[in-house]
Amino acid sequence: MQSKTALLIIDVQLGMFEENTPVHNATELLTKLAALITRARAEQVPVIYVQHNGPEGDSIAPNTTGWPIHPAIAPAEGELIVHKWHPDSFQDTPLQEELEKRGIKQLVIAGIQTEFCVDTTCRRAYSLGYDVTLVKDAHSTWYTDQLHTAQIIAHHNQVLAG
């Protein structure tokens, strides 16, 4: 039986884990994502990866050392990888077409960066009619001058919970 749910992993790429500026709680994030992926695969829930194509000179620009999906959560053979250029995982990508082709109605979303790509994709998915679940302890970001990472994550968990 085909699952109507998919696990969407957003932008968990090597460049997000650089030694001098790693994403908040990097090790814990990878552990939680790996557990989610293992569970999804065991339950035959499709795992879909979104890979950001950063601009030239960026740590996640295509074909740079930071561009690949982190090996701790590497896609299995045959799992879909969607390349994107914007915070919205649907904009200028085949994501919606691929979800429709697979009969997906529910999205479980996790990844990086909470207040940009994760937030935008959650909101767009909802607007497109998907039932969206943001995994509250499986997305992350970086500290800003205005808010600490924990505040950003907690705020988005609250705002996107509805």
26, pLDDT greater than 60: yes
Structure confidence by residue, pLDDT tens digits, 36-95: 999 999 999 999 999 999 999 999 999 999 999 999 999 999 999 999 999 999 999 999
pLDDT the model gives residue 162: 61
Confidence band of 115 (pLDDT split at 50, 70, 90): very high
CB of 76 closer than 8 Å to CB of 36: no
Element (H, E) at 101: helix 95-102
Is 122 an active-site residue? Answer: no
Mean pLDDT along residues 99-118: 97
Of the candidates 37, 117, 132, 135, the residue annotated as catalytic is 117
Query: What pLDDT was estimated at residue 91?
Result: 98
What structural domains does the chain harbor?
A: 5-159 (3.40.50.850)
Query: What is the model's pTM?
Result: 0.94
Give pLDDT, residue 2: 67
**Per-residue tokens: 37:** 């992926």
Task: Provide the edge-to-edge strand list for the sheet that holds 80-84.
Answer: 80-84, 47-52, 5-10, 106-112, 131-140
